[in-house]
Every structure is written in C-alpha cells, then in structure tokens.
Amino acid sequence: MTAPDGYRYATLTRAVKDKSSPLRRHLDARYPNTRPVQTDYRAGAGDILVDGGTAASGTVGAAFDFAIRFALNPGYDPKPATRMFAGDAVAYAAVLGVVELAATAPPSSDDFLRAAWAVALCTEVFRTGRLMPGSPLVGLVEQERFTTEGLVGLATEDALAELRTLREVAYVHLHPRIEDAKTMAIGPSFKASALCSADADLIYDGTLLELKSHLGTKNARTGTRADTLDLADLYQLIAYAMFDRDDAYGIHTVGVYSARYGHFVSWPLRDTLDTMAGTTIDLQAERGTVWRLLGGS
C-alpha cells in the first residue's frame, strides 16, 4: 500500500480518523486486534470526577493540555498558537503576550489558566486553518480588542472552574507519576512530523503519554458516563511511536491520562503492538512502512 502521488496529510489526527487514508487503512489491516487494549483501559477506569459545564469541552481539554505543558516547562513554545498570526504584527504581539503570561504566572493562579485558555483558542485557528465563525476570537477582531488583555479576558468563570478542578485532580493522579522524571520532552514532534503534522503531549523517561479530557460515553438510560478509549485515539497513540523513525526518544511505553477521570494507564509499546497485530512486530520496519505511507522516500 503506497500513498498517492502528491498526497499529504494535514495532521496525524485527521489521518487516523480518515478511514480512506493510506495510514488508517494500514493500521486497520495490520492492527485489527484492538479490543484487548481497549478492554484493559476500560477495566481500570472509575467514575467521572470532573463533569462538563457550559464551556466548550474541546477548548477545556486543549487549555488543560497547555496548562500541564507550561506547568512542567515554563519555557514551552506553543508554535501553533502563534503561527497563524505571524503576518499581523499587532495580533502576533498580543499572542506572544499571552504566552509570556503562561510562562510567568504561578500555575496555581487563575491568570495562568486564563492564559492557557487563550493559547488553546489561538491554537484552534491553526488546527482549522482559519478563524472560524463562532470563535470567541471573532468578537475581539470585530471590536478591535485583539490584545493580550482581550485574549486573557476570554475565559469564562465556568471554564475556569472546570480547569481548576482538572488541575486539582491532576495534582493527585498525574503529577506524582511524572514529577521525578529524569528526561522529559514537552509537545515533542518526530522525524515523520515533517511529512504529517504531529506533536505528542509529553514523553518522559521513554514513556509517551497522551492527555485526554473527553467526557466519555454516556449511558442513555442511566445518564452516567464511562471512560473509554476509542479506536482513533488508540491508533494515534501507537502512530506517534511509529513517527519516531530514528528512535530519537527511545519510546518503550505508551500511555494515556484521562483528566476527567483521574485515570492513568500505560502499556509496553512492543507488547501492545504484538497484541494488536496478533503477531510479532518489527518496530523499525513498521516505522519505515509508515514513513513511506506518508510520502517519504
């Protein structure tokens, strides 16, 4: 299976969700035995600890991700948040001001969370390729208030309340697992990211960890929610490891932290691939296959 001439992915997320993409077709064919991993994930999940509110859940999740990244490394550079504004000096300066606030405000403060929220909104512009109708950023543009102060003021009280609670849960269930790491890469990209935009959340001591803030599957009868690992998220997790073609990060374990459930789970990478494939996988050969599917030579 090869990539069509001129075919390029926009992002890894889109590639694994597009059932017709060469990468997704390869993953479906090569790794069909996903149920054991998904079942193991579900077995360790408890009840939801942080339910949703009126704030957009996708933006809450992205803001939480950025809050974790900046808390772990105040010097973290969220390039996608600034990239789409580089052609407008005033807007670019405003976004840089938000990044500076995220880097300098105490992680326990609301100013820090407001900055993370603004970074998430600016990153959405990069993900969609344009400023979408309905984005809170539209109002700032129309009112000529696209300033650092205007951006920082966009987080609603409900959004801040969710982020505060997610942060408190993370202090208990996430930080103790990673705070003593000897090596850590925040928002790492990979050799294959040059062919398909992809940056993971973090890699510490050889463990690639993705942060998820999904609400989970809702039972129509009881109204309760369950923490599940959907197929696209599982594929994305193993694809990150395959994007590391030159093994720059020495990834030996993959895992997920489900923020709303305080659920941390990890698996040995090679065992997981073997289980999903139903046979022994040559990781380096797989990395070469993925590279070619992305259009690399």
My answer on whether 61 and 201 are in the same domain is: no
**Parallel/antiparallel/unpaired status of strands 225-226 and 202-204:** unpaired
My answer on whether 19 and 68 are in the same domain is: no
DSSP state, residue 191: G
CA–CA gap between residue 8 and residue 21 (Å, rounded): 10
| Predicted local distance difference test score (pLDDT) of residue 143 | 86
My answer on whether 182 and 244 are in the same domain is: yes
- pLDDT at 1 exceeding the cut of 70: no
pLDDT band at 3 (very low <50, low <70, confident <90, very high): very low
- pLDDT at 213 exceeding the cut of 80: yes
**Selection from 91, 49, 76, 87 nearest residue 216 by Cα:** 49
My answer on whether 273 and 204 are in the same domain is: yes
Listed residues 155, 178, 204: the one ending a domain: 155
My answer on whether 64 and 95 are in the same domain is: yes
My answer on whether 4 and 71 are in the same domain is: no
My answer on whether 60 and 49 are in the same domain is: no
My answer on whether 134 and 177 are in the same domain is: no
Listed residues 155, 179, 208: the one ending a domain: 155
| Predicted local distance difference test score (pLDDT) of residue 9 | 65
What value does the CA radius of gyration of the chain take, rounded to a whole number of Å? 19
- pLDDT at 185 exceeding the cut of 50: yes
My answer on whether 103 and 182 are in the same domain is: no
Q: Three-class SS of residue 280?
A: coil
More confident residue, 34 or 8: 34
Catalogue the long-range contacts made by 36-41 (C-beta closer than 8 Å, 24 or more residues apart): 36/275, 36/276, 37/229, 37/234, 37/267, 37/272, 37/275, 37/276, 38/228, 38/229, 38/231, 38/234, 40/265, 40/267, 41/227, 41/228, 41/229, 41/256, 41/265
Domains: count for the chain: 2
**Selection from 8, 5, 4, 50 nearest residue 193 by Cα:** 8
pLDDT band at 8 (very low <50, low <70, confident <90, very high): low
| Predicted local distance difference test score (pLDDT) of residue 5 | 45
149-169 pLDDT, tens digit each: 999 999 999 999 999 999 999
Integer distance in angstroms from the first to the last C-alpha of the chain?
14
pLDDT band at 2 (very low <50, low <70, confident <90, very high): very low
pLDDT band at 297 (very low <50, low <70, confident <90, very high): confident
My answer on whether 62 and 195 are in the same domain is: no
Average pLDDT value over all residues in the chain: 93
Contact 287, 251 (CB under 8 A): no
Listed residues 155, 186, 207: the one ending a domain: 155
Mean pLDDT of all residues in 250-262: 98
- Residue 11: domain span: 1-53+164-297
- pLDDT at 76 exceeding the cut of 60: yes
Mean pLDDT of all residues in 170-179: 95
My answer on whether 64 and 107 are in the same domain is: yes
My answer on whether 276 and 179 are in the same domain is: yes
What percentage of the chain exceeds 70 in pLDDT? 97
